Amino acid sequence: MNDFFKFEADFVDSLRCIPMQVRFKLDSCGVKLKLSHWHQFTEQERQTLVEMPCISIEECQKYREFLQNLIIEKTGNTASELPIEDNPPWINEKEIPQITQIKAVESGVNITIEQWKKLTPLERFALIKLSRPSHENKNFYPALQEFGLL
């Protein structure tokens, strides 16, 4: 899971923004990482967070501990914790979140359940995150293109 999306190409070389695959891991391990924290990490620390596995319960625990220790080292405080969803919407292949459907329709696209099922959990996660009103949505349409939904 160390592949970056094409829509992230403008920042992945420097890792100046938190890539989707790290955001996916943050939601999986229940840590709210601020961009200000991310900017305090070295390039190698950022790369470690990209490469470090975070799938199994044990891996998620190790990822959370590593990340919290890194944040404490840089800031003197721990990061806020997020609730970890038992059945997050990006795992559900049978239902497209309403907010994502609305954003797709605003973009002139109708995502079908068949298309949704073919996406990886990380791709579904990205579309969900990019469709939230609190997020800068400029990458939603490029993500639709990249995922073959146009």
Query: Per-residue pLDDT for 137 more than 90?
Result: no
How far apart, in whole angstroms, are the C-alpha atoms of residue 86 and residue 106?
30
How far apart, in whole angstroms, are the C-alpha atoms of residue 80 and residue 84?
13
pTM, whole model, 2 decimals? 0.91
What's the pLDDT tens digit per position in 82-120?
Answer: 999 889 999 999 999 999 999 999 999 999 999 999 999
Query: Per-residue pLDDT for 11 more than 90?
Result: no
Nearest to 25 by CA among 84, 80, 105: 84
136: confidence class by pLDDT, cuts 50, 70, 90: low
Query: Per-residue pLDDT for 121 more than 90?
Result: yes
What's the pLDDT tens digit per position in 30-81?
Answer: 999 999 999 999 999 999 999 999 999 999 999 999 999 999 999 999 999 9
Query: Per-residue pLDDT for 1 more than 60?
Result: no
Query: Per-residue pLDDT for 12 more than 80?
Result: no
How far apart, in whole angstroms, are the C-alpha atoms of residue 40 and residue 64?
17
Give the pLDDT of residue 48: 96
Give the pLDDT of residue 9: 86
How far apart, in whole angstroms, are the C-alpha atoms of residue 1 and residue 127?
17
Query: DSSP string of the chain?
Result: --PPPGGGHHHHTTT-S--HHHHHHHHHHTEE--HHHHHHS-HHHHHHHHHS---SHHHHHHHHHHHHHHHHHHHSSPPEE-PPPSS-TTT-TT---HHHHHHHHHTT----HHHHHHS-HHHHHHHHHHHSTTS--TTHHHHHHHTT--
Give the pLDDT of residue 2: 57
Contact 88, 68 (CB under 8 A): no
